[in-house]
């Protein structure tokens, strides 16, 4: 017996029983909560700003951060796949930036807090 698709359910090919195909929510997503993570692009922007201000070559960035030259090339060309926010934060630390995380009650009568990146 072949699988048949009917609306939002289908039949299992071996048992013939119905199998639900409910949409999966994104991992970690919750109703009413915006993406609570710091955007990689914001961290990359700060990294690029440091590199530009210091007029650093990719080799110098690689030496100072401990990253492979090929990875620095990808990073500085905006290819963020494979770079976690943690990894980007470590690169910023190695480039001499302090990172401060402040936890406080949400402002106003919001039930859900917000995440923001502040540059100084």
pLDDT per position as a tens digit, 34-90: 555 789 999 999 999 999 999 999 999 999 999 999 999 999 999 999 999 999 999
Q: What is the domain class of 40-94 according to CATH?
A: mainly alpha
| The pLDDT of residue 6 | 44
Domain borders along the chain are 40-94
pTM over the 0.95 mark: no
- Helices marked H in the chain: 40-54, 58-65, 69-76, 85-94
Residues 32-44: tens digit of each pLDDT: 555 557 899 999 9
Count of helices and strands (H, E) across the chain: 4, 3
């Amino acid at each position: 017996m072949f699988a048949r698709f009917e609306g939002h359910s289908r039949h299992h090919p071996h048992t013939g029983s119905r199998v639900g195909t409910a949409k999966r929510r994104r991992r970690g997503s919750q109703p009413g909560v915006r993406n609570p993570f710091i955007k990689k692009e914001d961290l990359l922007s700060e990294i690029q700003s440091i590199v530009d201000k210091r007029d650093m070559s990719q080799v110098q960035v690689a030496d100072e951060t401990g990253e492979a030259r090929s990875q620095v090339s990808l990073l500085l060309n905006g290819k963020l796949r494979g770079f976690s926010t943690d990894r980007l934060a470590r690169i910023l630390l190695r480039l001499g930036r302090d990172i401060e995380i402040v936890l406080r009650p949400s402002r106003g009568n919001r039930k859900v807090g917000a995440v923001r990146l502040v540059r100084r």
